[in-house]
């Protein structure tokens, strides 16, 4: 398996044709997985908010703990449920069902100072659009994963996970398979798409603004979505 960063992509703006930029700078092959940073997708989709346009609620002021309450207001608007709060830290559930810090709202690498970047409205659809665009431009059938950095309960540091996916198998389910001594692997479901997102992050880095990487040599074509990675409420021990 190899992972290569796609370098030379310009600073992205709303309406930019990311598929064209990637097709120009990467020699894609069938079966490749193109991993794109959520922030790149959000920028071309115009999912940015100017802090000056935000009026904070009382609840946002409480949660801000002395930081900018307008940022907390945006986080509240992006949340359907608060999971944990310790001002100014908010861990909440987004409309997509993701549980993450700040509802995925991020101040770093925004287009300008004073702007926040939100998660795409439908990151699976964003992935599908990029996949279709790459097929049109290159003739190649690739998978696409939209990746974002999430914290984890009980562990330090973020890992990139899949918030959007198209054309890939997201979960590898080994139910019913048997190991070498005949033991049925009934608890083994691997979050392939999250591992791929994290692997790509290793080469994309954070600061150098490389928003796309190409993963080659995995056989993970499929038709699942990143929503399949969300734990159903009835199986969730941490609601």
Footprint on this chain of a copy of itself (rule: CB under 8 A): 1-4, 11, 84, 86, 89, 91, 98-99, 101, 107-113, 149, 152-161, 171-172, 174, 177, 179-183, 185, 187-192, 194-196, 198-199, 201-203, 206-207, 209, 217-218, 228-232, 236-238
Q: Which two tokens stand for residue 231?
A: 């734990």
Which are the contacts of 54, defined by CB distance < 8 A and separation ≥ 6? 70, 73, 74
Residue whose CB is less far from a copy of itself, 133 or 209: 209
* Least Cβ distance, residue 223 to a copy of itself (angstroms): 17
Bridge partners (DSSP) of residue 5 are 213
CA 77 distance to own-chain centroid = 19
Residue whose CB is less far from a copy of itself, 19 or 105: 105
* Least Cβ distance, residue 130 to a copy of itself (angstroms): 21
Bridge partners (DSSP) of residue 35 are 145, 213
Residue whose CB is less far from a copy of itself, 166 or 204: 204
* Least Cβ distance, residue 184 to a copy of itself (angstroms): 8
* Least Cβ distance, residue 117 to a copy of itself (angstroms): 11
Residue whose CB is less far from a copy of itself, 80 or 202: 202
Look at residues 143, 163, 174, 131 and name the one whose alpha carbon lies nearest to residue 229. 163
The label of the residue with tokens 């059938």 reads 141
Element (H, E) at 143: strand 143-152
Q: Which two tokens stand for residue 87?
A: 């001002």
Residue whose CB is less far from a copy of itself, 139 or 206: 206
């Amino acid at each position: 398996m190899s992972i290569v960063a796609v370098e030379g992509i310009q600073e992205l703006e709303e309406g930019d044709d990311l598929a064209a930029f990637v097709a120009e700078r990467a020699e894609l092959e069938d079966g490749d997985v193109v991993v794109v940073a959520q922030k790149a997708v959000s920028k071309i989709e115009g999912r940015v908010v100017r802090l000056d346009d935000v009026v904070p609620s009382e609840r946002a002021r409480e949660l801000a703990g002395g930081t900018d309450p307008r940022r907390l207001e945006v986080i509240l608007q992006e949340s359907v449920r608060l999971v944990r709060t310790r001002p100014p830290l908010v861990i909440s559930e987004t409309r997509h069902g993701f549980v993450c810090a700040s509802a995925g709202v991020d101040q770093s690498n925004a287009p300008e100072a004073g702007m926040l970047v939100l998660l795409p409205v439908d990151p699976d659809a964003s992935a599908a659009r990029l996949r279709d665009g790459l097929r049109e431009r290159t003739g190649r059938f690739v998978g696409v994963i939209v990746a974002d950095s999430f914290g984890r309960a009980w562990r330090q540091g973020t890992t990139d996970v899949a918030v959007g996916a198209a054309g890939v198998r997201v979960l590898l389910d080994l139910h019913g398979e048997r190991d070498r001594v005949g033991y049925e692997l009934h608890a083994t479901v691997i979050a392939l798409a999250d591992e791929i997102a994290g692997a790509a992050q290793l080469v994309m880095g954070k600061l150098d603004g490389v928003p796309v990487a190409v993963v080659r040599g995995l056989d993970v074509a499929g038709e699942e979505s990143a929503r399949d990675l969300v734990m159903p409420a009835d199986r969730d021990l941490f609601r």
